[in-house]
């Protein structure tokens, strides 16, 4: 027996597969992408009894091996290809005790591939409450497998599951359904043409258009002695196969499973009636959102102030501890403030994802998708577009990729084009700092924090804009389409804090490390560009200040003026002055202009850029927020960040396509530069006009 | 002098990192893109 085995964790969506994976692997897990495609791949190591180790792969959730999306295709390709390094020695099909009938369809299909397959019946703790009883021995006999009753929530049955995985060699690989009975003559011909191949694998290759080894549909159908079937006939046979499987499943569940309806206490239906109500559903949803945004502001202000002050002190400490010189300045004025500009937002981002994870884990998010479907249909989209739009609140890149689940091309294209309007986490730092500067920290009706309300309005604005744009695109794009939407409502459950915690850590980590590296690099470049200049005025800053103000300036003021003249004549200052005429009508100075240009790489760079530029510009204020608050508008006088310029900036960032990576992924997904370029031009145009109108109206 | 060298080295590393991140497409990745499951994604293929 090898020391390490491959275990594939497979199951329908919402069966608690990821919770089982988390219990098996603990923190020994990695998240990556499958080679060549950007579908998330979760894998981890699990220690099994008797010194055995399992390499566990959490495969994307799928209802059957009849693939309709890229994620499902991937599951099939892995299970077919024995040469794949991840090909499982044993498969664990995680099923939900309340939906066993539907879950067993996938189980019987995997079993037919000849892979030792264990059935893990999850949520076993609910059996009593739902009046369900199972005859495990009988089920094991009929399904020719081993069954583990598991409750990921109560952490029960996991050790038993590990034990069964260890004994994978003893599990029968015999199929439990005779799929060739759907057309014996056809399968007989198939068997004769390919005597050395697994019959069910061949059937999947023919019907699913997937490849394994050097076999593909074309090759099979053009093999001598084998006459292929028409596509419509194959579809009919697939339906027949599903019916045969369900007949088998119904038969065994009739014998081995009983449900006492009287014993069940159905809270779910009562909750659903309220939470998906056509009026109360929306009221409750918006109240929850309001509460979340209030909490984000109220709870995270203390850790944020702490981080801001810590970075200011660290910068000061480095300046005084290291030998004086340009490199010390680079660290204290460029790198540390730049990094501070990202770390400061960790508390708010962690709180946001904490709440979103709670909603997802509890089963409420599916109700939100269902609610939104009603609205989306009026604008030419279906609920399927809601999933990318909701995941767009984290990041537009996975959201654009999530559109792969949308079968209809027109609907998919529209969703791809409007997703970048939803408020992603990269916009959050910009919103948070600007809101803190221009919206008073006061209560509305004595309860609601005005800053929290503004943040919520910005989220609604992003969502509203994406829906409105979808409506316009639906009218403009002349592509025929027909679509439907089916969503499974998982049961309500108490969120598992372990899953919530892992999700928060993963999301925060990817925000800090993904954006952090870019911000660090841009901070370094900006500092160099702000600390060196091409003209004599840069080198003669002291003389210019003396000439301008005489000898009367206090040493501190003299230093500040010199730093200011140097900054204006530095490379970045000259570039900023070059673009100033474009941004001035929006109420911005050249420094904000530079921050907007540099944040084209990623929106969150905006705050880091300003932190670096203002740091080089010196000044008494040490924290990022105070430095920004102290900036004076060079033309109009008064604070640079006032209500008018602040709202203008918020609107600019709400609408502008400030993300290179999103453009790249849109190009990849649409296979054309036409759509990302259109997106960039139109979104930037809308952002500019909205920001201009806001400033001119409010100033 | 040493500090100047360190600054410019750091600057070049930062520029190199951004070029690699946003503009450099490794030949390996380029090939993988062509052979994705979706094929040359048109990509209303499923």
In this structure, is residue A454 part of a structural domain? yes
Provide the pLDDT confidence category of residue A71 given band limits of 50, 70 and 90. Answer: low
> Is residue A447's pLDDT more than 80?
no
pLDDT confidence tier of residue A284, bands split at 50, 70 and 90:
very high
Looking at the predicted structure, is the pLDDT value of residue B46 above 60? Answer: no
CA quadruple A668, A673, A678, A684: dihedral positive or negative? positive
Is residue B9 within 8 angstroms of chain A, CB to CB? no
Q: Using CA atoms of A277, A283, A286, A291 in order, give the dihedral in degrees to the nearest 10.
A: -120
Name the nearest CA neighbour of A351 among A286, A447, A425, A462.
A425
Q: Each residue of A78-133: pLDDT tens digit?
A: 888 777 888 899 999 999 888 888 889 889 988 888 889 999 998 888 777 777 88
In a domain, A271, yes or no: no
Pick A197 or A460 by higher pLDDT: A460
B35 touches chain A (CB under 8 A): yes
Q: In terms of Cα–Cα distance, which of A242, A625, A309 is closest to A438?
A: A625
B4 and chain A in contact, CB less than 8 A: yes
**What single-letter DSSP state applies at residue A305?**
H
| Domain with A622 in it | 515-698
- A375 phi, psi to nearest 5 deg: -75, -45
Q: What is the mean pLDDT of residues A12-26?
A: 84
Task: Print the SS3 string covering A564-614.
Answer: HHHHHCCHHHHHHHHHHHHHHHHCCCHHHHHHHHHCCCCCCHHHHHHHHHH
Omega of the bond leading into B43 within 30 degrees of 0 (cis): yes
* CB-based contact A112:A236 (threshold 8 Å): no
* Residue A509 resides in a domain: no
Of A68, A404, A521, the CB nearest to B18: A521
Rounded to whole angstroms, the Cα distance separating A394 from A252 reads 44
CB A604 within 8 A of CB A515: yes
Question: Both A193 and A150 in a single domain?
Answer: no
Domain match, A32 and A127 both? yes
Alpha carbon of residue A212 to chain centroid: 30
Whether A488 maps to a domain, the answer reads no
Q: Is residue A601 part of a domain?
A: yes
Per-residue model confidence (pLDDT) at position A91: 92
Give the whole-number percent of chain A exceeding pLDDT 70.
87
Mean pLDDT of A286-306: 80
Has residue A115 been placed in a domain? yes
Decide: residue A537, CB within 10 A, 0-12 exposed, 13-18 middle, 19+ buried. Answer: middle
Q: What angle do CA A535, A599, A301 make, to 5 degrees?
A: 115
Shortest Cα distance, chain A CAs vs residue B25, angstroms: 12
Residue A502 lies in a domain: no
Compare all CA atoms of chain A with the CA of B16 and give the residue at the minimum distance: A521
Judge: B7–A412 Cβ closer than 8 Å, yes or no. Answer: no
Does A652 lie in the same domain as A565? yes
d(CA A406, CA A670): 13
DSSP-derived 3-state class of residue A199: helix
Mean pLDDT of chain A: 81
How many Cβ atoms sit within 10 Å of the Cβ of residue A250? Answer: 11
Higher local confidence (pLDDT), A74 or A472: A472
Collect all residues of chain B within an 8 Å Cβ-Cβ radius of residue A660.
Answer: 22
Per-residue model confidence as pLDDT tens digits over B5-44: 999 999 999 999 888 877 776 555 444 443 333 333 333 3
Instruction: Enumerate residues 6+ apart whose C-beta is below 8 A from A517.
Output: B17, B21
Contacts of A35 in chain B (CB under 8 A): 32
- Tokens 């160099």, located at residue: A528
**Residue A390 shares a structural domain with residue A308:** yes
Spell out the long-range contacts of A195-204 with Cβ–Cβ below 8 A and sequence spacing 24 or more.
A198/A113, A198/A114, A200/A109, A200/A112, A200/A113, A200/A114, A200/A175, A201/A80, A201/A113, A203/A179, A204/A65, A204/A76, A204/A80
Indicate whether A32 pLDDT > 60: no
Cβ <8 Å between B18 and A601 = yes
- Whether residues A669 and B42 touch (CB distance < 8 A) is answered with no
Looking at the partner chain, which of A35, A37, A327 has a beta carbon nearest the beta carbon of B6? A327
Same structural domain for residues A336 and A251?
no
Q: Does B43 touch chain A (CB under 8 A)?
A: yes
* pLDDT tens-digit map of A149-180: 988 888 888 889 999 999 888 888 888 888 78
A73 and A119 share one domain = yes
- The confidence band for A687, taking pLDDT boundaries of 50, 70 and 90, is very high
**Same domain for A146 and A254:** no
Domain check: are A448 and A392 in the same one? yes
Mean pLDDT of A599-615: 73
Chain A interface includes B18 (CB < 8 A): yes
Q: Are A180 and A187 a contacting pair, CB within 8 Å?
A: yes
Residues above pLDDT 90, as percent of chain A: 11
Q: Are residues A462 and A321 in the same domain?
A: yes
**Residue A248 sits in the same domain as residue A136:** no
CB A404 within 8 A of CB B41: no
| Average confidence (pLDDT) over A35-50 | 71
| CB contact (8 A) between residue B17 and residue A521 | yes
Question: Across residues A639-661, what is the average pLDDT?
Answer: 88
Closest to A338 measured CA to CA, from A507, A517, A505: A517
**pLDDT digits 0-9 by tens, A523-579:** 788 888 888 888 888 888 888 888 877 777 777 777 777 777 888 888 888 888 888
The closest alpha carbon to A161, from A124, A118, A127, A123, belongs to A118
Q: Is residue A352 part of a domain?
A: yes
Domain end position, chosen among A448, A476, A504: A476
Cα separation, A125 vs A140, whole angstroms: 20
pTM exceeding 0.80: no
Residues A196 and A321 in one domain: no
Please name the helix (run of DSSP H) or strand (run of DSSP E) that holds residue A624, with its range, or none.
helix A624-630
Inter-residue contact A6 to A57 (CB < 8 Å): yes
Q: Which residues of chain A neighbour B35 with C-beta distances below 8 Å?
A: 36
Number of domains in chain A: 4
Residues listed for chain A: 699
Backbone phi, psi, residue A210, to 5° = -115, 165
The verdict on A210 and A122 lying in the same domain is no
How far is A130 from B13, CA to CA, in rounded Å?
A: 61
Which of A103, A135, A170 terminates a domain? The answer is A170
Contact A520 B14 (CB under 8 A): yes
B44 touches A at CB < 8 Å: yes
């Amino acid at each position: 027996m090898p020391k390490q085995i491959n275990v594939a964790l497979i199951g329908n969506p919402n069966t608690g597969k990821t919770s089982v994976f988390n219990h098996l692997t603990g923190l020994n897990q990695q998240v990556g992408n499958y080679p060549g495609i950007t579908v998330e791949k979760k894998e981890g190591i699990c220690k099994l009894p008797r010194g055995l180790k399992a390499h566990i792969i959490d495969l994307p959730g799928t209802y059957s091996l009849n693939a309709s999306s890229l994620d499902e295709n991937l599951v099939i390709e892995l299970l077919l290809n024995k040469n794949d390094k991840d090909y499982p020695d044993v498969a664990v099909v995680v099923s939900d005790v309340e939906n066993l009938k539907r879950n067993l369809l996938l189980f019987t299909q995997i079993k037919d591939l000849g892979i030792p397959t264990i059935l893990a019946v999850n949520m076993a703790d609910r059996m009593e409450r739902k009046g369900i009883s199972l005859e495990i021995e009988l089920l094991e006999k009929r399904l020719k497998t081993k069954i583990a009753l598991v409750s990921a929530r109560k952490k029960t049955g996991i050790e038993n599951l590990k034990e069964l995985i260890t004994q994978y060699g003893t599990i029968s690989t015999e199929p439990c359904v005779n799929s060739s009975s759907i057309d014996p003559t056809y399968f007989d011909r198939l068997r004769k043409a390919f005597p050395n191949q697994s019959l069910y694998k061949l059937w999947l290759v023919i019907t699913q258009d997937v490849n394994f080894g050097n076999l593909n549909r074309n090759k099979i159908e053009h093999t001598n002695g084998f006459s292929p079937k028409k596509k419509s006939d194959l579809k009919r046979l697939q339906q027949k196969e599903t019916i045969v499987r369900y007949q088998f499943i119904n038969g065994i569940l009739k014998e081995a499973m009983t449900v006492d309806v009287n014993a069940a206490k159905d809270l779910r239906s009562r909750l659903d009636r309220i939470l998906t109500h056509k009026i109360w559903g929306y009221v409750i949803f918006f109240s929850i959102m309001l509460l979340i945004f209030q909490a984000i502001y109220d709870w995270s202000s203390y850790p944020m102030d702490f981080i801001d002050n810590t970075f200011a002190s660290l910068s000061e400490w480095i300046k005084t501890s290291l030998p004086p010189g340009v490199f010390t300045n680079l660290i204290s004025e460029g790198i540390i403030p730049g990094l501070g500009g990202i770390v400061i937002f960790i508390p708010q981002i962690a709180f946001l994802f904490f709440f979103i994870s709670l909603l997802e884990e509890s089963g409420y998010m599916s109700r939100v998708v269902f609610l939104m479907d009603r609205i989306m249909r009026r604008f030419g989209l279906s609920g399927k577009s809601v999933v990318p739009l909701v995941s767009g609140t984290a990041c537009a890149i996975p959201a654009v990729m999530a559109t792969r689940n949308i079968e209809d091309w027109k609907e998919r294209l529209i969703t791809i084009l409007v997703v970048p309007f939803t408020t992603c986490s990269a916009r959050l730092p910009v919103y948070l700092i600007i809101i803190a500067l221009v919206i008073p920290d006061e209560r509305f009706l004595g309860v609601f924090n005005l800053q929290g309300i503004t943040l919520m309005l910005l989220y609604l604005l992003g969502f509203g804009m994406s829906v409105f744009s979808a409506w316009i695109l639906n009218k403009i794009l002349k592509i025929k389409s027909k679509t439907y939407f089916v969503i499974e409502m998982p049961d309500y459950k108490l969120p598992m804090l372990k899953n919530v915690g892992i999700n928060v850590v993963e999301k925060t980590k990817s925000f800090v490390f993904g954006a952090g590296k870019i911000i660090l690099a841009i901070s370094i470049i900006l500092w160099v560009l702000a600390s060196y200049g091409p003209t004599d005025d840069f080198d003669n800053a002291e003389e210019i200040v003396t000439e301008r103000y005489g000898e009367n300036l206090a040493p501190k003021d003299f230093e500040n003026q010199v730093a200011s003249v140097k900054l204006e004549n530095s490379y970045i200052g000259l570039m900023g002055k070059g673009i100033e005429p474009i941004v001035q009508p929006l109420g911005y100075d050249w420094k904000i202009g530079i921050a907007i240009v540099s944040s084209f790489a990623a929106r969150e760079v905006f705050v880091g850029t300003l932190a670096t530029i203002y740091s080089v510009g010196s000044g008494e204020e040490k924290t990022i927020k105070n430095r920004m608050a102290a900036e004076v508008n060079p033309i109009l006088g008064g604070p640079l960040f006032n209500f008018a310029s602040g709202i203008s900036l918020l609107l600019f960032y709400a609408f502008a396509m400030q993300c290179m990576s999103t453009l790249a992924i849109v190009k990849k997904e649409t296979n054309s530069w036409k759509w990302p370029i259109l997106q960039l031009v139109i979104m930037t145009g809308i952002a500019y006009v909205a920001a201009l109108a806001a400033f001119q109206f409010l100033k | 002098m040493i500090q100047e060298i360190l600054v410019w080295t750091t600057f070049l590393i930062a520029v190199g990192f951004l070029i690699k991140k946003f503009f450099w497409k490794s030949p390996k990745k380029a090939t993988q893109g062509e052979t994705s499951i979706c094929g040359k994604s048109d990509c209303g293929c499923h």
